[in-house]
């Protein structure tokens, strides 16, 4: 369970603050990106997605930014809550024909009350 975090970059934020989690992707041909949230003992849960013809997309309390020039993706979480504590993964899709995703190594978000 908790030992997963030993190998992951960790971001610690105070409850109520905004969080920014970054991800560098590798393939300039990737055209669809997803941020997933994974809580201990559970599978990844979809948060938000973005296609390569966009540079920003907003959801409820979350925003994803895509910079194709430097192959960088970020996830912004507004007013971070204790329930946001989890490991966050970015995933990239390189093939229009089927959704085979490549995942990053993840960032552990700790929200301090």
Partner 1 sequence: GAGVSQSPRYKVAKRGQDVALRCDPISGHVSLFWYQQALGQGPEFLTYFQNEAQLDKSGLPSDRFFAERPEGSVSTLKIQRTQQEDSAVYLCASSPRQGNEKLFFGSGTQLSVL
Which positions touch partner 1 (CB under 8 A)? 3-8, 31-32, 34, 36, 41-46, 49, 51, 89, 91, 93, 95-106
User: Do 67 and 55 form a contact (C-beta atoms < 8 A)?
Assistant: yes
Least distance in angstroms from the C-beta of 110 to partner 1: 15
Least distance in angstroms from the C-beta of 35 to partner 1: 10
CA 15 to chain centre: 19
Of residues 72 and 101, the one with the C-beta less far from partner 1: 101
Of residues 24 and 79, the one with the C-beta less far from partner 1: 24
Q: Is 3 left (phi over 0), alpha (psi -120 to 50) or beta?
A: alpha
Of residues 41 and 113, the one with the C-beta less far from partner 1: 41
Residue 17, C-beta contacts closer than 8 angstroms, at least 6 positions apart: 79, 80
């Amino acid at each position: 369970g908790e030992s997963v975090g030993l190998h992951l970059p960790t971001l610690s934020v105070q409850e109520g603050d905004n969080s920014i989690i970054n991800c560098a992707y590798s393939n300039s041909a990737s055209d669809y990106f997803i941020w997933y949230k994974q809580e201990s003992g559970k599978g990844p849960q979809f948060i938000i997605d973005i296609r390569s013809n966009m540079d920003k997309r907003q959801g409820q309390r979350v925003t994803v930014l895509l910079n194709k020039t430097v192959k960088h993706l970020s996830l912004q979480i507004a007013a971070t809550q204790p329930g946001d504590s989890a490991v966050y993964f970015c995933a990239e899709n390189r093939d229009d024909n089927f959704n085979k995703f490549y995942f990053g190594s993840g960032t552990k978000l700790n929200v301090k009350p």
